[in-house]
Structure 1
Amino acid sequence: MTTTASFPGPVAVITGAGTGIGRAVARLMLEEGFRVVLAGRREEPLREAAAGHPGALVVPCDVSQEPDVDRLFRHAIDAWGRVDVLFNNAGIFGPTAAVDEISPKDWNAVLAVNLTGSMLCAAAAMRTMKSQSPQGGRIINNGSISAHSPRPRSVAYTVTKHAMTGLTKSIDLDGRAYGISCGQIDIGNTATDIMSTLGVGDGAVQPDGSRKVEPTFPVKDAAQAVLLMAQMPASANVGSLVISAAGMPFQGRG
């Protein structure tokens, strides 16, 4: 764990902070004066993302394991006394498979990270935000364009992202009395490693079976959108935000 000196600014916990969108959001928030707890399974990428920032705290964590999540939030409280923002970002795509092809083991692995992990982190954040003074905070869930329109052969990932929408709405409702807001950002085709996994750069599979090279947009722009949500005043909330590469197959999928 990285030790930190006294540092002003709101406190954000970011899961999946070592790579991709999580890394970009963590670095941008640090630049904007947040104190950021960077969580992820692998410590080395977290330390690389946190390098040079006095307001960074590195906590290796597997979000699918409740003891790890509890430890993550204990470290945040021990270091800075509160949590103002949770960016629930950790997620995996899982195997490319239709419903009749995916194994129960692979199905459960995707649900454990994307859905159960998000629930565990949100639960820990809610408990923290309820008990701190001043009370309240904000939870931002990273959904996906797949929460609206799936890709072919992505059943496990798609189901978790649709379920994330229900989780977001439930958190926002249950947190209302405690000054806790929740919103969801659905990002399409930002340029990260997962795009390589999907083969977007070389041509992504379309619903008709053809392959098409789809446009992408810089991950820093996705990070700016998350920052916008995080910096909203307590009197306002972005409940749902969709940001995608201009011209990508989304409205016309299928």
Structure 2
Amino acid sequence: MSVNPPDRTFSGQVAIVTGAGSGIGRATAVAFAEAGAHVLGVGRRAEPLKETAAAHAGIDILAIDVCADGAPAEVVAAAVERWGRLDHLVNNAGATAVMPLAETDRKTITGLLALNVVAPSLLAHEALPHLRRSSGSIINLSSTYGHRPMAGGAHYSATKAAVEQLTRSWALELAGEGVRVNAVAPGPTRTDVMLHAGLTPEAADDMYAYERDRIPTHHIASPDEVAHWILRLADPAGRHATGQVITVDGGLELV
């Protein structure tokens, strides 16, 4: 798994990647490591994280629920204790939910907010003193549906809209301190997120087929294709870009 970075752009730097056990998170962790970074891959499940770590010697892992009390501080401390610095925080961990208004329940709403909005906010808070010292960056993961309506997924869309506003507001707040904040908003990407949302493999395949027909390029992205843009936004050579939301969806937001 690789996005084929052209050189060791991130040599000696340290990145935290949440949701690193699979999909975009795993691809991002591997891509950072291949580009020279020390990577702390974070996720709830130990076994998938071990598979991520096996992909590159530059990846260490921490199995933890980022929504748990004290978890954000523990995550940041683990990276800094291992490598003495922190340069990039990638807030990738997230969840989706297929939940029409008629079926809305409190538990699902609060769970989405906790993982998609609260946890990234607290991780960024804990990381900030270290990112100030390194003139580092925060990369948040949004979605095409953070700025495009999604029938049956309003609360998921709302959490991603919140992520985009956090990105812009933090970027404005921290620009004078040398900390950049950007976001990548993927469209449909071939990961296991739909299975975790409760869809059967058959239903997930049907959804991907439906989305492929709607996407102008008729292509469902791979995790590597999204990871490419995460690394480009983190690249120190792009230090003049902050507060940006880069949509990677084959043109779906245009239709």
TM range (shorter): 0.7 to 0.9
| Structure 1 unaligned residues grouped into runs of 5+ | 1-6, 206-210
Q: Is the 8 A contact 1:40 1:62 kept in 2?
A: yes
Instruction: Tell me, in whole angstroms, the C-alpha distance in 2 between the residues paired with 1:98 and 1:52.
Output: 39
Distance apart, 1:8 and its partner CA: 5.2
Q: Could you give the per-residue CA deviations for residues 123-154 of structure 1, whole angstroms, max 9, x where no partner exists?
A: 11113223x3xx42100000000111132100
Q: Is the 8 A contact 1:200 1:213 kept in 2?
A: no
Q: Is the 8 A contact 1:64 1:120 kept in 2?
A: no
2:215 is the counterpart of 1:216: no
2:149 is the counterpart of 1:150: yes
Q: Is the 8 A contact 2:188 2:211 kept in 1?
A: no
Distance apart, 1:65 and its partner CA: 2.3
Distance apart, 1:69 and its partner CA: 1.1
What is the count of residue pairs matched by the alignment? Answer: 235
CA RMSD of aligned residues (A): 2.2
2:27 is the counterpart of 1:28: no
Q: 1:11 to 1:155 in 2, by over 3 A?
A: same
Instruction: For residue 60 of structure 2, give the secondary structure of its aligned residue in structure 1.
Output: strand
Find runs of 4+ consecutive structure 1 residues off by over 6 angstroms. none
AA at the equivalent of 1:139: I
| Structure 2 unaligned residues grouped into runs of 5+ | 1-9, 214-218
Q: Is the 8 A contact 2:232 2:238 kept in 1?
A: no
Report what 1:244 is aligned to: 249
AA at the equivalent of 1:216: I
Q: 1:98 to 1:148 in 2, by over 3 A?
A: same
Instruction: Tell me, in whole angstroms, the C-alpha distance in 1 between the residues paired with 2:228 and 2:14.
Output: 17
Instruction: Tell me, in whole angstroms, the C-alpha distance in 2 between the residues paired with 1:43 and 1:78.
Output: 20
Instruction: For residue 217 of structure 1, give the secondary structure of its aligned residue in structure 2.
Output: coil
AA at the equivalent of 1:115: V
Instruction: For residue 152 of structure 2, give the secondary structure of its aligned residue in structure 1.
Output: coil
Report what 1:162 is aligned to: 161
Q: Is the 8 A contact 1:24 1:219 kept in 2?
A: yes
AA at the equivalent of 2:156: Y
Q: Of 60, 68, 92, which residue of structure 2 is paired with 1:57?
A: 60
Report what 2:4 is aligned to: none
Q: Of 226, 229, 237, which residue of structure 1 is paired with 2:230?
A: 226
Q: Is the 8 A contact 1:189 1:195 kept in 2?
A: no
Q: Of 15, 18, 21, which residue of structure 2 is paired with 1:15?
A: 18
AA at the equivalent of 2:165: G
Instruction: Tell me, in whole angstroms, the C-alpha distance in 2 between the residues paired with 1:213 and 1:11.
Output: 36
Q: Of 61, 69, 81, which residue of structure 2 is paired with 1:78?
A: 81
Instruction: For residue 23 of structure 1, give the secondary structure of its aligned residue in structure 2.
Output: helix
Q: Is the 8 A contact 1:141 1:168 kept in 2?
A: yes
Instruction: For residue 241 of structure 2, give the secondary structure of its aligned residue in structure 1.
Output: coil
Q: Could you give the per-residue CA deviations for residues 138-172 of structure 1, whole angstroms, max 9, x where no partner exists?
A: 00000000111132100221110000111101211
Q: How does 1:170-189 map to 2 (within 5 A)?
A: 170-189=169-188
Identity over the aligned pairs, expressed in percent? Answer: 31
Instruction: For residue 27 of structure 2, give the secondary structure of its aligned residue in structure 1.
Output: helix
Instruction: Tell me, in whole angstroms, the C-alpha distance in 2 between the residues paired with 1:212 and 1:37.
Output: 33
Distance apart, 1:52 and its partner CA: 5.1
Q: 1:174 to 1:223 in 2, by over 3 A?
A: same
